[in-house]
């Protein structure tokens, strides 16, 4: 910084997007108050560092920040490491986490050409944007969503990404919904406590808990339309792991992604629901479960044996712009 006739350059304003996956923060910065001349030498660098810190927070998620699209779309609550959805004194308390986050998890019922599919979804904006799994809504002719308070909405698919098994749907006529805080899955460690919320077998708002039992598991699911979980009420959850198929035929087209493994109980219907850390932040979207080969032959016997998988939330955040743009892939 250079000095010219007793004045100093003001910190730069950041009008361009820091990360193309997210729009820039809204350009409403509080007016900087001029400091007495004798303090310019000390306050100038501090002001510059403050401006840089704001940008760094937008990139790294160091503090809670609401990213908002310039088109006026709802803000997505993105939580940082210092953000808690539950009170600090209740951190890790399953009852407190369930109470805080359950309103942000919905049941998704898709009508398909050959049956139906039941799954879950996570509210990411108050106006009704919902993230779920692609295999929950793939091939749907209509979608109904039920919130935790029992209200029912019609939903439309905004965009899908079968390569990541993600989909974005939007509720019609919804407002004032409680959006979940999306955390940072890069900081997740094996042994971390987690809570899963979803609608297994249509049982809305079911809460289970456990730990992160492994990271970066290669999980393969179907990308074919009509392979949605729960199709026709048979409880199938097509899934491959280690070269074997579980819970039904995955079809001719599949996708593989790196997943968070958890021993929190997951069952058909949990797909698209939330995997939550001890602070109440969503760290993953539940997507698949493992059951033994003998169980796979009978849907009545199929169930969780403590091996469930979730798509890391950072994958969701990086894919959100594409989904909002109406991608259908």
What are the backbone dihedrals phi and psi of residue 38, each rounded to the nearest 5 degrees, phi first? Answer: -70, -15
- CA dist 291 and 275 (Å) reads 19
Q: What are the pLDDT digits (tens) for 70-129?
A: 334 566 665 544 456 899 999 999 999 999 999 999 999 999 888 888 999 999 999 999
- Report pLDDT for 65: 33
Is 175 an active-site residue?
no
Residue 84 has what pLDDT?
65
Dist CA 299 CA 295 (whole Å): 7
For the record, the structure tokens of 106 come out as 């919905």
Average pLDDT over residues 32-43: 50
Mean pLDDT of 34-39: 51
Which residues face 207 on adjacent strands?
A: 197
Percentage of the chain lying above the pLDDT 70 cut: 61
Reported confidence tier of residue 31, pLDDT bands at 50, 70, 90: low
Catalytic residue among 117, 161, 162, 165: 165
Task: Give first-to-last CA distance, the chain, whole Å.
Answer: 49
Q: Is 178 exposed, middle or buried (0-12, 13-18, 19+ CB in 10 A)?
A: middle
The encoded tokens of residue 44 equal: 């100038």
- Give the pLDDT confidence score for residue 170 in this predicted structure: 98
Residue 152 pLDDT exceeds 60: yes
Mean pLDDT confidence for 253-259: 85
* Catalytic-labelled residue, pool 102, 135, 222, 278: 135
**165 an active-site residue?**
yes
pLDDT of residue 224: 62
Specify whether 135 is catalytic: yes
What H or E segment, with its residue span, contains residue 195?
Answer: strand 193-198
Take residue 80 and report the two structure tokens written for it. 């940082």
**What are 155's two structure tokens?**
């939903």
Catalytic position from the list 104, 199, 271, 291: 271
Residue 300 has pLDDT above 90, yes or no: no
Q: What pLDDT is attached to residue 201?
A: 82
Query: Which tens digits make up the pLDDT trace of 12-24?
Result: 544 444 444 555 5
Helix (H, G, I), strand (E, B) or coil at 132: strand
Could you tell me which of 166, 163, 180 has the C-alpha nearest to residue 137?
166
**Does the structure show a pLDDT above 70 at 178?**
yes
Comparing 154-158, 176-180, 279-283, 285-289, the range with the smallest average pLDDT is: 285-289
Burial of 297 (0-12, 13-18, 19+ CB in 10 A): exposed
């Amino acid at each position: 910084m250079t000095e010219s006739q007793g004045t100093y350059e003001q910190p730069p304003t950041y009008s361009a997007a820091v990360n193309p996956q997210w729009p820039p923060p809204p350009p409403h910065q509080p007016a900087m108050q001029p400091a007495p001349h004798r303090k310019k030498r000390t306050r100038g660098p501090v002001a510059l560092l403050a401006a840089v810190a704001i940008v760094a927070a937008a990139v790294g998620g160091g503090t809670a920040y609401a990213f908002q699209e310039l088109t006026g779309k709802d803000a997505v609550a993105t939580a940082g490491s210092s953000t808690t959805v539950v009170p600090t004194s209740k951190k890790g308390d399953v009852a407190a986490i369930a109470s805080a986050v359950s309103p942000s998890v919905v049941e998704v019922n898709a009508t398909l050409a050959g049956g139906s599919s039941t799954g879950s979804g996570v509210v990411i904006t108050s106006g009704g944007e919902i993230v779920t799994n692609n295999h929950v809504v793939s091939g749907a002719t209509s979608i109904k969503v039920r919130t935790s308070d029992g209200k029912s909405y019609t939903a439309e698919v905004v965009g899908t990404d079968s390569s990541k098994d993600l989909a974005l749907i939007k509720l019609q006529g919804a407002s004032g919904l409680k959006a979940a805080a999306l955390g940072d899955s890069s900081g997740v460690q094996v042994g971390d406590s987690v809570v899963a919320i979803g609608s297994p077998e249509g049982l809305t708002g079911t809460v289970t808990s456990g730990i992160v039992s492994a990271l970066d598991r290669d999980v393969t699911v179907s990308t074919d339309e009509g392979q949605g979980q729960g199709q026709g009420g048979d409880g199938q959850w097509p899934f491959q792991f280690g070269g074997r198929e579980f819970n039904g035929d995955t079809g001719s087209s599949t996708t593989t992604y790196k997943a968070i493994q958890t021993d929190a109980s997951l069952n058909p219907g949990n797909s698209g629901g939330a995997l939550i850390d001890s602070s109440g932040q969503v760290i993953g979207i539940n997507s698949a479960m493992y059951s033994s080969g003998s169980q796979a032959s009978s849907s009545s016997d199929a169930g969780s044996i403590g091996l469930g998988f979730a798509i890391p939330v950072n994958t969701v955040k990086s894919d959100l712009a594409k989904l909002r743009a109406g991608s259908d892939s």
